[in-house]
Structure 1
């Protein structure tokens, strides 16, 4: 019954937010880097934060440091959705949020240098995940694939309160009603993708430490490989890696191969689910075996990325010729 009530609250929240966003013109206007052609409401990912807040209150304030962290960064991200903020303003809040998430997940008992490295990696991860929100359905479907896999993993190896995952999945489904369509009515915005990224970071760190399992990294491998190699490519082109672009493979599948948005988003989610099935099956293997699985899967994804990238370049040359 509690999940039914939560779903109703989320649906009502979505309706109210859409009306507020329309009134105050909180929209994403298309530009030459956009995949959409009409102004679209952004910030719909506020539903994800509402779900996390509902869990926090309903669980009698479980994971307080995580919640304080995600609340602070959600607020700043929502403001950024309305008025673009400088990185000098966003970054301190991001480091603050990641530090709290790390403290909640693993404590600060590690060497100071390692903590610093993990902080930088964490901030990098949430920013990279934020870049994903570029085509209809990809943030929502991919996040459902990742969080759904954490639910399955948590069923096998109970680590966190499952309600946190279920509440957030419900918010993704409600958001999906407005986003998983040919012409999206709502985008997640920074508040959505950043909030989900912080949650995934918290879950990843917690499960990795509790299970002593490096293979957990593969739970975000599809987008991770795409984003990582895209950054390398942009550095090769001498582009500013923090600026918007159209170099992700999923963007090229839309722009060059003319795949529908939801087809691309679905492929990313399905491939990630298949990989995550391997993760769940290998979670109780030895560390050495998990490292072998980790390297093997990453190698396959790398080869796949290079193949699609080269085929896209060939197609572009033919079109331009």
Structure 2
């Protein structure tokens, strides 16, 4: 408990320090025609996420060293991307290395599952980056997702629960600066990529050791929006999937329906919390029931995406 207090104080202090330094050195996000904000705002405030993970390592005898190394590596590259805007050709190899370190930490053997997990891992961390587009959504949604992992882990003891708690503390502190009408700073690539890497690590770890495909339900709200948007762009537009855009449902709710950033963020997090309850109640059932439940969830969210997309477009 004492460590949680110390970590909280440190992260609050470092957040204020970073805010001042970022303003001084102009680490800022300028709005453009595809932005959902209208004023210049500090970026990279999500630096508190990897710092929290590193503090967990320091206070817990350097537990999960390969995972921590992956977080450190990808955080450095992502922070440089926040400052200089790096090419995807530079970012991708480091993302790949970070995912490989995670799979090694978990102990997944070199087989077909490994290759699928490698591809899936890079996709997940980029999904969290693409979905980080309005005030509050990264903080609120990741809190909702991590709470699902926390309660399952309380039953199963797969990882040290402090890892999840440290991340939750960093998200709450980040929320103080970001969960407001006019955010003081954004997560930036360092925030969205590092927290995405953590959630991929937990998701992969839980899925592998519990033999539970239903664990993916803990990120299904983000997954449905990101995956269906990707399919829409590939099938119906000529845009590169790497280019910024405004096709996500959360963007359309803000831009077209004129809902506030905070309203949309709360809706996404609340829906995920409801799904978490379903996952919590069914993750340890027989495989047939899990796959049936997962298929129902995927169908519901796919149909919901199509309905909302068409309704907003109309």
Q: Which residue of 2 aligns with 1:202?
A: 201
Superposition pairs for residues 265-280 of structure 1, below 5 Å? 265-280=265-280
Q: How many residues align?
A: 312
Is 1:87 the counterpart of 2:88? The answer is yes
CA-CA distance at 1:110 after TM superposition:
3.6
Aligned to 1:226: 225
| TM-score, normalisation: structure 1 | 0.96
Distance 1:183 1:60 in 2: 39
Q: 2:45: which partner in 1? A: 44
Q: How far apart, in 2, do the equivalents of 1:297 and 1:122 lie? A: 21
Compute the displacement of 1:177 (Å): 0.2
Query: Pairwise CA RMSD of aligned residues?
Result: 0.9
Give the structure 1 partner of residue 176 of structure 2: 177
Q: Distance in 2 between matches of 1:96 and 1:154?
A: 26
Deviation at 1:308, TM superposition (A): 0.7
Q: Distance in 2 between the 1:192 and 1:70 partners?
A: 11
What secondary structure sits across from 2:220 in the alignment?
A: helix
Give the structure 2 partner of residue 318 of structure 1: none
CA distance in 2 between counterparts of 1:281 and 1:147 reads 16
Which SS does the other structure have where 1:45 is aligned? helix
Per-residue CA deviation, residues 25-84 of structure 1 (Å, 9 max, x unaligned), is 000000000011110000000000110000011111000000001100000000000001
Cα offset, 1:189, TM superposition:
0.2
Distance 1:313 1:20 in 2: 42
How many angstroms does 1:108 deviate by?
A: 4.2
Counterpart-to-counterpart distance in 1, 2:60 and 2:3 = 12
Q: Secondary structure at the residue paired with 1:159?
A: coil
Q: Is the Cα–Cα contact under 8 Å of residues 74 and 194 in structure 2 kept in the other structure?
A: yes
Quote the residue 2:242 is aligned against: 242
Q: Secondary structure at the match of 2:240?
A: coil
The answer to whether residue 164 in structure 2 is matched with residue 165 in structure 1 is yes
Give, in whole Å, the separation in 2 of the partners of 1:24 and 1:276.
41
Structure 2 counterparts to residues 65-214 of structure 1, below 5 A: 65-105=66-106, 107-111=107-111, 113-214=112-213
Question: Is 1:216 paired with 2:219?
Answer: no
Question: What corresponds to 1:35 in structure 2?
Answer: 36
Secondary structure at 1:242's aligned position in 2?
Answer: coil
1:171-230 deviation line (CA, Å, top 9, x unaligned): 000000000000111100000000001000100011001111010011100110111010
Deviation, 1:238, is 1.9
Which 10-residue stretch deviates more, 147-156 or 169-178?
Answer: 147-156
Q: Which runs of 4+ in 1 moved over 4 A?
A: none
Moved more, 229-238 or 254-263: 229-238
Partner of 1:284: 284
**Offset, 1:306:** 1.1
Distance 1:313 1:27 in 2: 32
> Structure 2: which 5+ runs fail to align?
none
Equivalent runs, 1:256-271 vs 2, <5 Å: 256-271=256-271
Q: Offset of 1:124 from its aligned partner?
A: 1.5
Residues in 2 aligned to 1:307 and 1:192: alpha-carbon distance in whole angstroms: 31
Offset at 1:6?
1.0
Partner of 1:317: none
Gaps of 5+ in 1: 315-321
The Cα of 1:117 is off from its aligned counterpart by: 2.8
